[in-house]
Chains A and B, each alone.
Chain A
Amino acid sequence: MSAKTLYDKIWDAHMVRCSEDGTALIYIDRHLVHEVTSPQAFGGLRLAGRVLWRQSANLAVPDHNVPTTHRDQGISDPVSRIQVETLDQNCEEFGIQEFSMLDPRQGIVHIVGPEQGATLPGMTVVCGDSHTSTHGAFGALAFGIGTSEVEHVLATQCLIQRKSKNMRVCVEGVLPMGVTAKDIALAIIGRMGTAGGTGYVIEFAGSVVESLSVEGRMSLCNMTIEAGARAGMVAVDQKTIDYVQGRPFSPTDDQWDQAVLAWADLHSDSGAVFDAEFVLNATDVEPQVTWGTSPEMVVPISGKVPDPDEETDSVKQSAMKKALDYMDLEPGTAVVDIKPDKVFIGSCTNGRIEDLREAAAVVGHSQVAANIKLAMVVPGSGLVKRQAEQEGLDKIFLGAGFEWRDPGCSMCLAMNADRLEPGERCASTSNRNFEGRQGQGGRTHLVSPAMAAAAAIAGHFVDVRNGDDDI
């Protein structure tokens, strides 16, 4: 038998059938559902008189529209409310397990899945959401789908797919202090470009990826979609198994032993061939800050806003000019001279307990700078929030002048009331700095939780490694 990549193995194990032209029917083990991309799928099912194929494969949670304050008073925006209520009704009607808005387990779908053990190694995991790539951190094949495909999975538990190509991204060296998985993800996208992974499934490997915690691997895989890849994944090791053990949806007893045995094979065979390889030496990666309106527009904290006149590709040059105009930045400005108005710590990229610990450690006993209009921490789930409160992290944030909110997507995409006003600048731990993403006219700089916390304290971007006097 020839050597296989991790992706090859999971793909082969889920193939229901394959046509001569290479179009395959792939079985889906786990389907995660949220309120934004599912209503039309349930509607389609109902319209065609079709039934749900397998109830237990689905888990639903509202996250995009939920308010992060005064949740007991319900959702004031009527349109958002209808969407969340529609999810409740659909789950009730089709018999799907849901953690509804007031459930303590509610949170961002990509944080809730792994937290519950609903994401397991070797699974195929899909969700009507591009950041489903997050779940690849468990050695799962996980990718986002559109609403038609959500309906397809509900009705058939399968998807029609063609196999992507294999890419390995090796992150070698040693991660410098103060540099996180988020910085690695941004550095990779900066070098590879937002279309660099198009057509591929990426396996992250190398000494740095091995050294990352499972949560760090989730942050890394989360941003694979920003590199254009279908999915990102990391081989299973003891850390993965330890993380999964004992969670509500995880197997127990004999099945656990059987599963662990099977998971031992969830890595690429030595000698497996990748269609593309990309290597990043982490040793000289600095904390990253995006300056533009695409995640590839990123520079190290010691860097400057680039000059479009130095770009030779005319399409890129015009994109840079548009981005600088939108971001209201001058070429040559030092990144440390950029001052955010708001700071957002949260999202499915960086809303887990380790992220909050990292940010709180930077905050310490300091205060949010006077020029920061709002600094908010939005835990990724109710359970993350509870854990953080048990550790006293909420006290650190509140003491410094941060707001401590209820879990949800919040200002990652501003579908609820949390948003930037036109012209406002934000240091954000989320994953997208697109125009208008955090509110129309809002300007986003993507950073790690530690860097966001440091910017909140200093009032401008600052190298978190310096122990700068400002912080």
Chain B
Amino acid sequence: MEKFEKLNGIVVPLDRSNVDTDAIIPKQFLKSVERTGFGPNLFDEWRYLDHGEPGQDNSDRPLNPEFILNHDRYHGAQILLARDNFGCGSSREHAPWALVDYGIKVIIAPSFADIFFNNCFKNGLLPIVMEQAVLDGLFQQTADTDGYRLLVDLEAQTISPPDGEPIAFEVDSFRKHCLLNGLDDISLTLEHVDDIRAYEQRRKQEAPWLF
């Protein structure tokens, strides 16, 4: 996994709640057996005016000029501001894959859906839970300032607006450690092979029907 330490990036505001994984990446793209290549179809049904299918050349599809990601001023955005319950719905990891593939590295929202939240960390994408009132301020500033950027510092656990005080955020210590060092969960777990085997031995005695 790619490391995440600091990021100074353009902010794009997606002002709607309950953005579900079907919206983030529609199901027809889930037929792929690859992990990459989902970026051009991120938010496909909102982003384009026509219907997208896998394997299509997306460069000449008609863009929906109203969709926020298509506004010139947000070109190259790496930080997504969102609303409550972002990433709800299916467990598809294709959703964080699409976001990462597009270039998003941080999502700031008042709440995230549980499975999506987990999936982000496995892909070097940092989801930050932020109080509604603070977030409202960031939405406002993003709207008011062309090319609005934020500096996200994972080590310090702060988000800094260009001319404001750093805002602190919470992050699980284990996940922070993994992100900062780009660690892969499976290798970490495989350091405990003996514990897993010992557990299995014990369980086979207690509950043999499980094996």
Interface residues, chain A, with chain B CB atoms under 8 Å away? 16-17, 19, 21, 23, 25, 27, 29, 36-37, 39-40, 43, 48, 50, 53, 56, 64-65, 77, 79-80, 82-83, 86, 120, 122-123, 128-130, 132, 143-149, 151-152, 155-158, 160, 162, 194-195, 198-199, 228-230, 251, 255-256, 258-259, 262, 294, 296, 315-316, 318-319, 322, 413-415, 432, 434-437, 440
Docked pose: A156 CA to B195 CA in angstroms: 11
Docked pose: A432 CA to B200 CA in angstroms: 38
Q: Which of B15, B93, B203 contacts A37 (CB 8 A)?
A: B93
Q: Which chain B residue shows the least CB distance to A322?
A: B16
- Selecting from B61-69, B73-81, B118-126, B150-158, the interface stretch reads B118-126
Docked pose: A147 CA to B123 CA in angstroms: 11
Q: Is B142 an interface residue (CB 8 A)?
A: no
Q: Is B84 an interface residue (CB 8 A)?
A: yes
B186 touches A21 (CB 8 A): no
Q: Is B8 an interface residue (CB 8 A)?
A: no
B91 touches A144 (CB 8 A): yes
Set of chain A residues within 8 Å of B92, measured between Cβ atoms: 36-37, 146-147
A37 touches B91 (CB 8 A): yes
Docked pose: A36 CA to B15 CA in angstroms: 30
Q: Is B3 an interface residue (CB 8 A)?
A: no
Set of chain B residues within 8 Å of A415, measured between Cβ atoms: 27-28, 30-31
Q: Is B105 an interface residue (CB 8 A)?
A: no
Docked pose: A50 CA to B90 CA in angstroms: 27
Q: Is B23 an interface residue (CB 8 A)?
A: yes
**Minimum-distance CB pairs A-B, first 3:** A251-B209, A148-B122, A146-B119
Set of chain A residues within 8 Å of B173, measured between Cβ atoms: 21
Q: Is B55 an interface residue (CB 8 A)?
A: yes
Q: Is B99 an interface residue (CB 8 A)?
A: no
A146 touches B91 (CB 8 A): yes
Docked pose: A144 CA to B118 CA in angstroms: 11
Q: Which of B16, B112, B119, B196 contacts A27 (CB 8 A)?
A: B196
A157 touches B91 (CB 8 A): no
Docked pose: A21 CA to B88 CA in angstroms: 27
Q: Which chain B residue shows the least CB distance to A84?
A: B31
B186 touches A259 (CB 8 A): no
Set of chain B residues within 8 Å of A149, measured between Cβ atoms: 118-119, 122
B22 touches A40 (CB 8 A): no
Docked pose: A82 CA to B33 CA in angstroms: 8
A194 touches B209 (CB 8 A): no
Given contact pairs A56-B211, A147-B93, A440-B45, A435 touches B22 in the complex (Cβ within 8 A):
yes
